[in-house]
Homo-oligomer: A and B are copies of this chain.
Amino acid sequence: MLRVIPLGGVTEIGKNMTIVEQDDDILIVDCGLMFPENDMLGVDIVINDFRYLIERADKVRGVILTHGHEDHIGALPYLLRDLNVPIWGTRLTLGLVDAKLSEWGLDEQATKHVIEAGETVTIGPFTIDTMHVGHSIPDGIGLGIHTKEGIIVHTGDFKFDPTPVDGRMTDFAGFERLGNQGVLLLITDTTNVERPGYVPSERIVGQTFYDVFQRAERRVIIATFASNIHRIQQAIQVSADFGRKVAILGRSMAANTDIASQLGYLDVPADTRIAVPEIDFLAGHQVTILTTGSQGEPMSALSLMASEEHKKVQIQPGDTVIISATPIPGNEDLVNRTINHLFRLGADVVYHPLAPVHVSGHAYQDEQKMMYNLVRPRYVLPFHGERRHVAQYARLVESLGHPADRVLKMEPGDILELSDGSATIAGHIDGGPIMVDGLGIGDVSHIVLRDRQLLAQDGILVAVITVERDTGKVIAGPEIVSRGFVYMQESEPLIEEAKLRIRADLESLQESEGVPDWGTVKADVRSSLSRFFYAVTGRQPMIIPIVMEA
């Protein structure tokens, strides 16, 4: 029996984790986290439900990681807490994993195996060929997993950069060799299947940096992803070429550059890096600042600079700011706001698409076609994309002659069973997603989320009375407290009127009944206040009546 179970988020499929199960052995590919959807208010991150794995703990042989991005390694601490499985990955990937696990105090217990791309590793019954792939973080790999039913190729996140910054080309030969052996299933990154052609080389970003530096008369501030080591390398190299010193701002940027330098993935020329306070002792044309905040994240270094709240760096007229990224969907507004603020402060802002300051890490259509034609699989499972990407990928490979019924359109958690060269979807596991808020994992239910959405719309109003237990007589209150509904200090008449209505409700009830049923009282107060506030304000705050018995 061979099963493949791609997990994922609400819309994305197989992005964060794929389970390969052969008889009594399970191999896990990647263990990433997801970011919350816009309506998941207050939720920090989203992970998968690992119950399927935990219930089969004795079968799990290990996790193999394709690269070091958060959406591929970020959920490891949540898995390892419950299931201490060995981890395989390349050197940089494991370096980033180490940093993460040590924050959680899990680094000592973890067993790690370093992979050199190109080598073949054995995990349980699986022989796995590894192939270097280009991506927006170094040291990514694709996998050729040999199973008893045939070969499964998992591309990882990939693109084919013809002139990579580190000179390491994608291992075309490795993929082709597997193709020649006959591939049962290609699990492939389809993020950019809507874009024609090829991803431009990362090197064009370096060229843009060069052009910008040539005309910059004062400081250059470059915001990019902390994990894009090649981008950071280019920024440092161009700075050194122009005799600029480089300061690094932002916790993740500092941590990642340290790890990458120590492991030899980042080459910082001697005397180039300076500490942040040294910026002030140098002239503008001698300084480059590398920073986080390319997504406009409100607490990031660049956003704080843009809103004049950064403690150490103030934007000065004439500074040049390069936003070396494109907004991740959902972040457009934040990035836009940052750009506007920077212009307002007199900076010259260089951003996509007005200048080629960013290239994607994911293959475009022609690269997808090339990968397909190297591997020539019997089945394809498009991953890392949403429904729209799956639909477009199906079109793409059908145009190459792939049979339509061998494109697998799966939901996250669907179980794919492969046997004798045929594939069927045979059931479903509950793989999440699970919301993490603070220390709580999965305890933010849809009820809590719905309440947060209501609270965000029109706020809340709490009305309290204290009554004598035996008589039902009101001995204190009504007291009213509200937040996010109206500004209490300016709304006294409204609140007083509401109190009068509560008293009137109580009186009419008490006349008729003696000690009232407090459940009914609360329901009455809620609906009468709700009507009153809607009529007067047009708003519908959440109304919570509380009856205290003394």
Contact = CB atoms under 8 A, between A and B. Distances in A.
Interface of A: 11, 37-38, 41-42, 194, 329-330, 332-333, 336-337, 339-341, 343-344, 349, 351, 353-354, 386-388, 390-392, 437-440, 443-445, 447-448, 451-460, 462, 464, 466, 475-477, 479, 481, 483-487, 490-491, 534, 536-539, 542, 544, 546, 548-550
A448 B487 contact: yes
A438 B539 contact: yes
Contacts of A443: 486-487, 490-491
A343 B387 contact: yes
B538 A440 contact: yes
Across the A-B interface, the 5 shortest Cβ-Cβ residue pairs:
A438-B538, A439-B538, A456-B456, A455-B455, A340-B387
Contact of A460 (B343, B349, B460, B539): B460
A336 B486 contact: no
A535 to B, nearest CB: 9
Nearest to A475: B550
A436 to B, nearest CB: 9
A459 B451 contact: yes
B466 A476 contact: yes
A440 to B, nearest CB: 6
Contacts of A479: 546, 548
Given A456-B42, A539-B438, A544 B481 contact: yes
Contacts of A484: 41-42, 448, 451-452, 454-455
12 contacts: A11-B336, A41-B484, A329-B333, A340-B387, A440-B537, A440-B538, A443-B490, A448-B459, A451-B483, A452-B459, A464-B546, A466-B466
A298 to B, nearest CB: 9
A340 to B, nearest CB: 4
Given A339-B388, A448-B486, 20 more contacts: A42-B456, A42-B457, A42-B459, A329-B333, A339-B387, A340-B388, A343-B388, A344-B387, A440-B537, A443-B486, A448-B484, A451-B483, A452-B457, A453-B456, A455-B456, A455-B484, A464-B546, A476-B548, A476-B549, A483-B544
B336 A333 contact: no
Nearest to A348: B391
A143 to B, nearest CB: 27
A444 B544 CA distance: 21
A8 to B, nearest CB: 12
Nearest to A480: B546
